[in-house]
Amino acid sequence: MVCFDAILVKMNGEGGVNELAQDVLCEVNNCVYWAHGNQCEADKIYVVSHTGKEADKQEETDCKTFEPQH
């Protein structure tokens, strides 16, 4: 049996595939996608540089998929 959930891939520009991150760990526990064990349950996340420029440090990146719990 082939399990299509086991690995996510996307085509790269050279006709091959790249693996995508499977297990996103996150400490932002007030996000609607956050689950126990610091698991992210979003189907995908979008990470950006919050300075709007090229990031030099991890502190300069943010998850744009974040949605606060109400």
Site residues (vs ligand SF4, CB under 6 A): 24, 26, 28, 31, 33-34, 40, 42, 45, 63, 65-66
Nearer to ligand SF4, 18 or 61 (CB): 61
User: Of the two residues 17 and 30, which places its CB atom closer to ligand SF4 in the complex?
Assistant: 30
E strand or H helix that includes residue 61: strand 61-63
In whole angstroms, the minimum distance from the beta carbon of 32 to ligand SF4 comes to 7
Q: Are 68 and 30 in contact (CB under 8 A)?
A: yes
Bridge partners, residue 6, by sequence: none
